[in-house]
Structure formats: C-alpha cells, structure tokens
C-alpha cells in the first residue's frame, strides 16, 4: 500500500524523531511513504485566525500536489496539520463558493484540485488499513513491563470524522500498545488539550494544562507518555523542569511518539527511531526487550 | 440638541447601531463559509461548550456567552474580549455541542474580525504570534521556529526587553539544539514563487472589510438624547 506523506514543519526540527520513527515503522510494515514534493506549511491555527481564503489556499496547494503525485491518501502525522488539511478538504468539498476562490488561487500556480485524496492520521492508517492483529503478528519483540499513558490530545480525535474513534475515549493507541505487550494504563485525561501555542502566548495557562497531564500520568504509574502530535510532545517534554519546580515535586517522565514503541516492537534500531533526540530519555533498560 | 447628531440607535430603540450592523453582516458572511455554520441559530444556551472548555476558566466571556452576546447585538464587545484569543482550538465545544454549533470556527471568525478592525491591544501576544507565523510562511513557505520565536519575543515588548526575553528562551533553545532538534537556518521551499502567487491571488478574493468607527461615549442619554 502506498501513501502520500505530509511531514509538516515541526517534523523537520523539534519533532524530527517523529519523522524518523514514522519512516522506519512504515518501512518495517511494508508500506510505501512518498513525501509530497516541495510541500509548504499547512497554515496551522495561526494562519486560520488571520486570513480565511488564504489559509485554505495555501493548505490546498499541498492537497493539489499530492493529488498530482497519485500515490493515494495523504498521511499527516502532526495533529494540527492533519486537522487543517482534512478541514480544508472538507470545507472545499462542502462550500463550492470557497472552492471556486481557492481554485482560482491555485490556478495562479498551475495547480488543480479535485479533493480526491483523503487526509489521514498515521495511527488511523495503521489501525484500519493493516489492523492491530496484523501489526502485532509482525512484532519481533514484546513491550513487557512498559506502562504507557496513551495521550491522544485534541485535534486528532475531535472535529474530523475520518477517524472513526470515540472522541471522548479513544482506544486505538491503547489497544495497539496492549497488543504489543505493554501493560495497560488507564489515562482519563487522554484527550484533554495540552494548550498548544498557549505555552508561548500565555505560558501560565499552558503550564497549568500540562501539569495536570503530567500529574495524572504519574499518579497512574505510567513509565512514559505516548503521543501522536509534535506539539503535544514538545509541550509535555520541554517544560518538565519548570513544571516540576512549580509543582514542588518531580514530574519528569519520558514522552514518546507512538511510532517509537511500535518501532521498538518491530525490531527497529532505537537510533533510527530518533530516541536520541529526546531530552528526557527512555532509560537504557527499557530498550532491552524480550524476543517474541 | 440637533437630531442630526444622534445615532440611529438612539432614535429608534431596538435597532442596532450602524457599527453593530456592519459587524453583524461581516460575521454572518463568515458563518456562511462554515459547513453547518447556520446551526448557530439553534443555540439553547445550555453551557455545554463552557463546561467542556479546558480554558474557559481563563476567559472573560464564556463560549456560551459569546453566542448570547452575538444574539443581543453586541459583537463589538466580543472583538475586544480575551476569549477569542484564549481559545486553543481543541474543538471540545464543537464536538460536544448538542445543537451542532461550530463554536471553534465562530471564534476564528471573530478573531479575524478583531484583526481586520484593528481591535486588540498593541503587542498583544496571540496576535503577534499569528502575524509572525504568517510572515515566516510567506517568506519561506514553511514555519521556521527559531525565526518565529525571535520575532515573537521582539515584537511583544520593547526592543531592550525583547532582547532580554529572547535570551530567556536560550535554555530551551540549547536543550533542543544539543539534541539536534533545531534548524538554525531557515529552509525555503523551491516553489516559493508559486506559493506567493497563490497567496496574492487568494488575498484579492478575501472579502472587503468595512471599518467601524470607534465607539465614542456620550453623556447624553435617555429623553435628553431625543431632545424632548
């Protein structure tokens, strides 16, 4: 199976380990991943709050190029990119007036858009196209003793209906980790917002939100938090020093991308999965896994 | 007092002042672009949105009250509220609303209108953040985080303080840098010219903005206002 791949800006810098681990995991599972040629920023929530038509138009450029490549559905790992691209596609399909404006803008660059390629999150792609059982059958190692708090964040599960998961209590990632041998951790804050860019624009509020997530993960005895979004990963990992000192207790915990434990189970090399990029590293003993 | 000095609002109570009519039209035009936007009229003021919002405790106007104020004909106060800037776009309100109202998208529309009207405090962080982000995308085609943060810190305060604030980012910057998670230099996409053409064209098709005049407080109220 082949997919068009939209990494997004974060996966080139702060989220580089997400990029590395996705590429590794898709290769290990025999799925083709074809980066969208010369993709541009999706616009994120920031552009959306400045200019409406422009924000849809720049997002649509990526959809148009992916369509031209003809490699199938678009895989967007960053929750914000996923949401923005999927939302753009839906708005353009349901609002012809908006579509004609965007078409005209795209024509200025010689592009056309038929909205043929669906926009999907890699977690959903793996779980629906391959299935958890098929993935577990390919595992070479067991994640025994690992206790992952599966954190879905907000933008991936919420507004777009392409992801047929329970919006209030999704289980896809929990089920996947459990099938790979990890111990289940009940994490009630799994879809609570991490604050996203509030961490920059309104830090106290951002710290509050992240602190409640870290406290919950600790209280539930998690050994790591597993995320699906570079923004969540960044907020949850990079502010642990600050939050620990403001909370008056040690709240440090490794924060991984779901593709990293999955990659470890599939027998990928920890370096290739980008584990060296994390500031709160997974302990060495956690990398020693029993063979299946 | 001459009648010609009075606003139509004072003359015929119950109708909206001119500025509100302008804002209302601009808002409803934007609502038209949202699939399902028309459900706005089905709000039952239940407060599920406010109760579901992880940030409502920091807002001056709750999401439920946003709709109430729109109905009451007071969009201008919404454009001046902290609420529209506090929303983190987590969409919990939108997903849970029993009437299917696209609250997050409504807040986006209000945010855009507030920027269009120039109604927000100078150096306001959320505005500067969005505006800096847009600059990066226009210049390079992708977001360059280092440039974004530098511009953001500089623009949200005075130059000297800005330098100091940029410095305060250094610990996190070095942490990321040591782990190979920072792009020191921006990366421009090859098709930046194409992207600029798309942006230019799309900007021309953005709806024209009618600016409202600043509300001027008046001491003349009640019957005095209509000259009896």
Distance from CA of B152 to the nearest CA of A (A): 9
The rounded mean pLDDT for chain B is 86
Burial string for A60-72 (b: 16+ CB within 10 Å, else e) reads: bbbbbbbbebebb
| Cβ-nearest to A95 among B33, B143, B182 | B33
Q: For chain B, which residues make up each domain, given as ranges?
A: 18-120, 121-213
Residues 6+ apart with CB under 8 A from A99: A92, A93
Q: Which of residues 151-180 of A touch B (CB under 8 A)?
A: 154-155, 158-159, 167
Residue that finishes a domain, picked among A120, A149, A175: A120
* B residues 55-114 closer than 8 Å to A (CB): 55, 58, 85-86, 88-92, 94-95, 104, 108-109, 111-112
- Assign domain B18-120 to its CATH architecture: Orthogonal Bundle (1.10)
CA distance A154 to chain B (A): 5
Q: Confirm whether A127 is domain-assigned.
A: no
Q: Is residue A103 part of a domain?
A: yes
* First-to-last C-alpha distance (Å) of chain B: 9
Strand duo A290-291 + A141-142: pairing: antiparallel
Final residue of a domain: which of A120, A147, A166? A120
CATH classification at residue A275: 3.40.50.11810
Domain of residue A46: give its range.
Answer: 2-120
Of A33-42, A70-79, A131-140, B149-158, minimum mean pLDDT range: B149-158
Mean pLDDT of the B64-89 span: 93
For B77, residues 6+ apart whose C-beta sits below 8 A from its C-beta are: B61, B69
Same domain, A113 and A165: no
- Give yes or no for residue B31 having a pLDDT over 70: yes
Considering the domain architecture, whether residues A150 and A274 belong to the same structural domain is answered as yes
Tell which of A87, A120, A153 closes a domain: A120
3-state secondary structure of A119: strand
A107 with A154, same domain: the answer is no
Same domain, A111 and A215: no
CATH number of the domain within which A6 lies: 1.20.1050.140
Q: Is residue A113 part of a domain?
A: yes
Tell me what percent of the residues of chain B surpass a pLDDT of 70.
86
Q: Which of A38, A41, A107, A229 to mutate to test the interface with B (most CBs of B within 10 A)?
A: A41
Distance CA B209, CA B212 (A): 9
User: Domain count of chain A?
Assistant: 2
Q: How far is A134 from chain B (nearest CA, A)?
A: 32
Q: Give residue-wise pLDDT tens across range A236-261.
A: 999 999 999 999 999 999 999 999 99
pLDDT of residue B119: 86
Over residues B200-226, the pLDDT tens digits come to: 999 999 988 888 876 555 555 555 555
Residues 6 or more apart from B218 whose CB is under 8 A from it?
A: B225
């Amino acid at each position: 199976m082949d997919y068009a791949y939209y990494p997004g800006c974060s996966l080139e810098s702060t989220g580089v380990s997400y990029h590395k681990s996705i590429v590794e995991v898709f290769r290990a599972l025999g799925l083709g991943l074809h980066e969208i040629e010369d993709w541009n920023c999706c616009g994120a929530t920031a552009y959306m709050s400045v200019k409406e038509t422009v924000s849809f138009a720049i997002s649509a450029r990526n959809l148009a190029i992916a369509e031209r490549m003809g490699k199938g559905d678009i895989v967007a790992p960053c929750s914000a990119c996923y949401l923005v691209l999927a939302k753009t596609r839906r708005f353009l399909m349901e609002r012809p007036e908006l579509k004609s404006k965007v078409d005209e803008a795209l024509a200025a660059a010689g592009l056309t858009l038929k909205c043929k390629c669906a926009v999907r999150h890699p977690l959903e792609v793996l779980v629906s196209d391959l299935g958890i059982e098929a993935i577990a059958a390919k595992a070479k190692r067991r994640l025994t003793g690992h206790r992952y708090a599966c954190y879905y964040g907000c933008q991936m599960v919420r507004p777009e209906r392409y992801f047929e998961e329970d919006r209030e209590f999704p289980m896809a990632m929990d089920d996947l980790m459990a099938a790979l041998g990890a111990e289940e951790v009940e994490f009630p804050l799994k879809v609570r917002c991490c604050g996203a860019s509030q961490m920059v624009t309104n830090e106290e509020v951002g710290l509050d939100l992240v602190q409640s997530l870290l406290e919950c993960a600790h209280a539930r005895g998690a050994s790591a938090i597993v995320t699906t979004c570079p923004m969540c990963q960044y907020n949850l990992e990079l502010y642990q020093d600050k939050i620990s000192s403001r909370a008056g207790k040690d709240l440090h915990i490794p924060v991984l991308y779901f593709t990293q434990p999955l990659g470890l189970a599939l027998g990928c090399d920890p370096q290739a999965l980008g584990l060296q990029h994390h500031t709160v590293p997974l302990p060495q003993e956690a990398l020693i896994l029993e063979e299946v | 007092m001459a009648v010609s000095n009075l606003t139509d609002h004072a003359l015929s109570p119950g109708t909206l002042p001119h500025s509100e009519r302008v804002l209302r039209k601009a808002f409803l035009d934007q609502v038209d672009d949202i699939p399902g936007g028309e459900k706005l009229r089905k709000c039952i003021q239940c407060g599920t949105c406010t109760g579901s919002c992880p940030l409502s405790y920091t807002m001056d106007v709750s999401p439920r009250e946003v709709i109430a104020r729109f109905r009451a004909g007071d969009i201008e106060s919404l454009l001046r509220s902290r609420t529209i800037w506090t929303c983190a776009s987590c969409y919990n309100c939108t997903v849970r609303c029993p009437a299917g109202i696209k609250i997050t998208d409504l807040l986006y529309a209000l945010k855009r209108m507030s920027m269009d009207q120039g109604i927000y405090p100078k150096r306001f962080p959320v505005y500067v953040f969005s505006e800096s982000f847009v600059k990066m995308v226009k210049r390079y085609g992708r977001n360059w985080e280092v440039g974004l943060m530098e511009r953001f810190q500089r623009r949200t305060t005075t130059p000297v303080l800005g330098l100091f604030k940029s410095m305060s980012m250094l610990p996190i910057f070095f942490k990321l840098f040591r782990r190979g998670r920072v792009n020191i230099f921006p990366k421009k996409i090859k098709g930046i010219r194409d992207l600029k053409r798309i942006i230019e064209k799309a900007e021309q098709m953005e709806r024209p903005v009618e600016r409202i005049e600043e509300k001027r407080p008046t001491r003349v109220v009640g019957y005095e206002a209509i000259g009896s």
